[in-house]
Amino acid sequence: MMMLQADSLHIKRANRAALNGINFHVNSGEIYALLGGNGAGKSTTLLSFLGFLKPSQGQVRVKGIEVKSNIAAARKVMTYLPESASLYDHMNAYENLKYFLQLAKRHVTESDIQHALNRVSLNQDSWKIKLRDYSKGMRQKVAIALSILRDTDILLLDEPTSGLDPAAIDEFHALIRDLANNGKAILMVTHDVYGACQVAERIGLLRDGQLVGEFSSHSDAPIDPQIVHSAFLRNK
């Protein structure tokens, strides 16, 4: 089922075209990675799915609903992990998760929270420490735990692996693979070509607000990082 859909999407930011007619979609059970240089329009794409940026032309659809026509309904089925996610510094991991889940009216038990924190392998000693005393990667792990706990059909992840160590990145990939296998649709922005090739079914390459290439894996062969890498550099 088509969970996310961009149809000739145009977005203007600060009077300049940030997205210039892009078309792609993400199915349920699929991980789609958006690659591209700085300022290519990756974060802009996610924000337009969330209804924060209105298309000047074209449209975005979430589960078939045009976002513009029902922002609240669209947001309800999506979890967003912002670029360099920062939760509240003056609260610990537990308090942050509880607060953001209450905000979304998502009921979870203590053991759900513990389970999620374990899944992102956040050291149990640090659960009750305020986030201001966390490292960048530790904060990122809490934000990822939040994304799991929201338990929505769609995940929009903006550079989720930034700040994570290699072991944590591997764990994260295993985690989203698992989520996708359970039917979630995942749209992930990343700069990590090799990681993307490892985990994603499809990769979209953005440049100056345009989708300049799309790569798909096949049941027998994952996407070849070499090809993506050279396409990335060629389009620079």
Partner 1 sequence: MNPLETPFIKTIRREIAFTARDHTVWFWMIIVTCLSVLSVAFGQAEIKHQHVQIQSLVQANEASNTLESSKWNDWGSAAFYHYHMTYDAPSDFAFAALGQRDNQPWKHRIRMLALEGQIYERDVSNPSITIIGRFDFSFLAAFVFPLILIMLLYDLRASEIKAGRYHLLVSSVSHIASLWPLRTILRTTAVLLCLLVPMIFAGAINGTSLSTLLQASIMVLLFTLFWSVVCYIVSAWRQSSAIILTTLVGLWVVTAVVLPAGAKVAIDKAVPLPSGADILLHQRETVNDAWDIPKEITMNNFLQRHPKWANYQPKPPSFDWPWYYAFQQVGDQATENLSTAYRNGRLQRDRIAGWVSLIAPSSLLERSLQSLANTGTAASIDYEDRVRIYHSKLREFYYPKLFRHEPYDKTHLNKVPRFNGR
Q: Does 44 engage in binding with ligand ATP (CB under 6 A)?
A: yes
Whole-angstrom CA distances from 183 to 47, 79, 134, 148 are 23, 14, 32, 13
From CA 236, how far away is CA 223, in angstroms rounded? 20
Q: Which does 208 bind (CB under 5 to 8 A by kind): partner 1, Mg ion, ligand ATP, none?
A: none
Q: Does 85 engage in binding with ligand ATP (CB under 6 A)?
A: no
Angle, helices 93-103 vs 110-119, to 10°: value is 120
H or E stretch covering 102: helix 93-103
Q: Which residue in the set 5, 20, 43, 92 belongs to the binding site for ligand ATP (CB under 6 A)?
A: 43
From CA 187, how far away is CA 33, in angstroms rounded? 6
Q: Does 40 engage in binding with ligand ATP (CB under 6 A)?
A: yes
Span near Mg ion by CB under 5 A; candidates 1-9, 65-73, 82-90, 102-110 = 82-90
Span near partner 1 by CB under 8 A; candidates 31-39, 74-82, 109-117, 207-215 = 74-82
In this structure, which long-range contacts are made by residues 10-17, counting pairs with CB atoms below 8 Å and at least 24 apart in sequence?
Answer: 10/55, 10/56, 10/57, 10/58, 11/41, 11/44, 11/48, 11/53, 11/54, 11/55, 11/56, 11/209, 12/56, 13/44, 13/53, 17/209
Q: Does 39 engage in binding with ligand ATP (CB under 6 A)?
A: yes
Q: Does 20 engage in binding with ligand ATP (CB under 6 A)?
A: no
From CA 146, how far away is CA 58, in angstroms rounded? 32
Q: Is the dihedral of CA 156, 162, 165, 166 positive or negative?
A: positive
Q: How far apart are CB 88 and partner 1 at their closest, in Å?
A: 8
Question: Closest-CB residue for Mg ion?
Answer: 43
Q: Which does 40 bind (CB under 5 to 8 A by kind): Mg ion, ligand ATP, partner 1, none?
A: ligand ATP
Q: Does 60 engage in binding with partner 1 (CB under 8 A)?
A: no
Q: Does 75 engage in binding with partner 1 (CB under 8 A)?
A: yes
Q: Which does 38 bind (CB under 5 to 8 A by kind): Mg ion, ligand ATP, partner 1, none?
A: ligand ATP
Q: Which residue in the set 86, 114, 123, 181 belongs to the binding site for partner 1 (CB under 8 A)?
A: 86
Binding site for partner 1 (CB under 8 A): 47, 50, 52, 75-76, 78-88, 90-91, 95, 99-100, 102-105, 150
